[in-house]
Amino acid sequence: MNIAVPKETHPGEERVALAPETVKKLAKAGFSVAVEAGAGKPAFFSDESYKEAGATVEGDYAKLLGSADMVLKVAPPVTGGGRNEVAAMKEGAIFIASLQPLRNLEPVKALQERKITAFSTDAIPRTSRAQAMDTLSSMANIAGYKGALLGAVEMNKYYPMLMTAAGMVAPAKVFVIGAAVAGLQAIATAKRLGAQVTATDVRPEVKEQIESVGAKYVGIELKADASAGGGYAKELSEEDKARQREMLVAQCAQVDVVITTALIGGIFAPKLINKEMVMSMKAGSVIVDLAADGGGNCELSKPGETVVTENGVTILAPLNLAATMPTHASLLFGRNLLNFITTFAKDGAFVLDLNDDIQAGALITHEGQVKHARTKDALEKSGAMAAR
């Protein structure tokens, strides 16, 4: 089976779907891998390193994709601006990437029309069996780490407690909202840097996890269960939202850095910090909104920008943080893809088994149909709105 790895051309995307080490393992498993020239350069992987790993390097993206049985990317396929990756693929090919289908309906529609079998790695079920394939968790881990560092850089204080000849400096106080993968990594990183860390999550079962990485848990007793399963949270009732808001007001007012990571269903960001909360925070404090890709947890966040409020609070809303650490992000992403592919491989080919829970969960389009229920609903609604 021929696998193609094209360049990532979305602005700010520095990752590549496969690193040379993963190419070598796929070649050993019987796959033939071709990489577009320069695809690994932003992540510091040379064309020569891919050749040494057993891949061929192709300069013409259309030729590369047209001869591929399987196409691997990090981001959704490009369908305009002089580069149409979906049109270049042969009908019936397999496409695997972090599609984020609910946010990228146009590429999904193009894949459907081209009769591509598309899997989205961010839709892989969060089960023990699929853990090694979960790119969403791998990339969230990087985002949590980098988010804690950004808070330390922007803050006007030290993170750790220091004893100096001039006297003691008290540790910074960091508050993390959301304790899934990104949140737990942000807690652990801030703690390693010496900060005093508190954290909250609407899922009470994560209290032990928060404490295991060194933070103090703060939270409210919920009237209704807020766990959506698979490590995700669901939206709170209005009553619970009001009680949560009171807790957040109190916590945000007394800390130096707030790191938000909350996503509903792993996709959409609830607005947890409103303008009044920001105005109650101390001058010089920092908010790092790691949910910016989903719209942001802070009402004043501007995704992709840094804002300084009138009362001196700095709000960072970085997008696609994993791409800012492209070497390790590409290594981890590629390993996730390797695990997904080789789990279903036989004699150097990927075997479709749509009755398998992992393949079925990650499947977005197949044989000209949208198979992912939520994406299908979103496409139908967008079509109905366009018709109006």
Catalytic residue set? 126, 131, 134, 137, 232
Does 125 share its domain with 261?
no
pLDDT score of 4: 98
- Picking from 111-115, 237-241, 298-302, which range would have the lowest pLDDT averaged per residue? 237-241
Band the pLDDT of 245: cuts 50, 70, 90: confident
Does 247 share its domain with 334?
no
Does 229 share its domain with 296?
yes
Does 217 share its domain with 357?
no
pLDDT score of 266: 67
CA distance linking residue 211 with residue 73, whole number of Å:
36
How many other C-beta atoms lie within 10 A of the C-beta of residue 168? 9
* Boundary residue ending a domain (319, 334, 359): 319
E-only strand ranges, 192-341: 196-200, 216-217, 227-229, 232-233, 257-260, 286-289, 306-308, 314-316
- Picking from 65-79, 228-242, 368-382, which range would have the lowest pLDDT averaged per residue? 228-242
Average pLDDT over residues 229-238: 60
Amino acid residing at 169: V
Give residue 245's domain range: 141-319
CA distance linking residue 271 with residue 283, whole number of Å:
22
Among 293, 230, 219, smallest CA distance to 12 is for 293
- The residue with greater pLDDT, 66 or 382, is 66
Q: Which residue has the tokens 């804690």?
A: 148
Among 130, 28, 132, 26, smallest CA distance to 70 is for 26
Band the pLDDT of 229: cuts 50, 70, 90: low
Tokens of 296: 């942001």
Determine if residue 268 is left, alpha or beta; phi over 0 gives left, psi from -120 to 50 gives alpha, anything else beta.
beta
pLDDT score of 232: 54
Tokens of 194: 């010496």
pLDDT one-digit tens code per residue, 58-99:
999 999 999 999 999 999 999 988 899 999 999 999 999 999
Does 214 share its domain with 234?
yes
Tokens of 222: 């919920």
Does 159 share its domain with 278?
yes
Does 307 share its domain with 350?
no
Beta bridge partners, 267, equal none
The H or E element that residue 173 is part of is strand 173-177
Among 382, 384, 364, smallest CA distance to 121 is for 364
Average pLDDT over residues 222-237: 57
Number of structural domains, the chain? 2
Does 315 share its domain with 334?
no
Q: Label residue 332 exposed, middle or buried (CB < 10 Å: 0-12, 13-18, 19+).
A: buried
Residues 6+ positions from 172 with CB-CB distance below 8 Å: 152, 155, 157, 158, 159, 160, 195, 196, 256, 257
Band the pLDDT of 262: cuts 50, 70, 90: very high
Average pLDDT over residues 346-371: 96
pLDDT score of 315: 98
* Boundary residue ending a domain (293, 319, 345): 319
Does 84 share its domain with 211?
no
Beta bridge partners, 268, equal 264
- Is the confidence at residue 54, as pLDDT, over 60? yes
pLDDT score of 385: 47
Measure CA 333 to chain center. 11
Does 154 share its domain with 266?
yes
* Boundary residue ending a domain (319, 338, 354): 319
Does 158 share its domain with 71?
no
CA distance linking residue 383 with residue 299, whole number of Å:
29
- Picking from 18-22, 79-83, 117-121, which range would have the lowest pLDDT averaged per residue? 79-83
Average pLDDT over residues 214-226: 76
**Cα Dmax for the chain:** 71
Does 127 share its domain with 155?
no
Question: In terms of DSSP bridges, do strands 314-316 and 306-308 run parallel, antiparallel, or are they unpaired?
Answer: antiparallel
- Picking from 22-31, 221-230, 334-343, which range would have the lowest pLDDT averaged per residue? 221-230
Q: What contacts 24+ positions apart, CB below 8 Å, involve 237-243?
A: 240/202
CATH of the domain at 64: 3.40.50.720
Average pLDDT over residues 257-262: 96
pLDDT score of 386: 57
The residue length of the chain stands at 388
Band the pLDDT of 240: cuts 50, 70, 90: confident
3-state secondary structure of 193: coil
Band the pLDDT of 305: cuts 50, 70, 90: very high
pTM: 0.91
Q: In the chain, what percentage of residues exceed pLDDT 70?
A: 94
With beta carbons less than 8 A apart as the criterion, state whether 111 and 363 touch.
no
pLDDT one-digit tens code per residue, 135-181:
999 999 999 999 999 999 999 999 999 998 999 999 999 999 999 99
How many other C-beta atoms lie within 10 A of the C-beta of residue 285? 28
Among 291, 326, 286, 338, smallest CA distance to 309 is for 286
- Is the confidence at residue 331, as pLDDT, over 70? yes
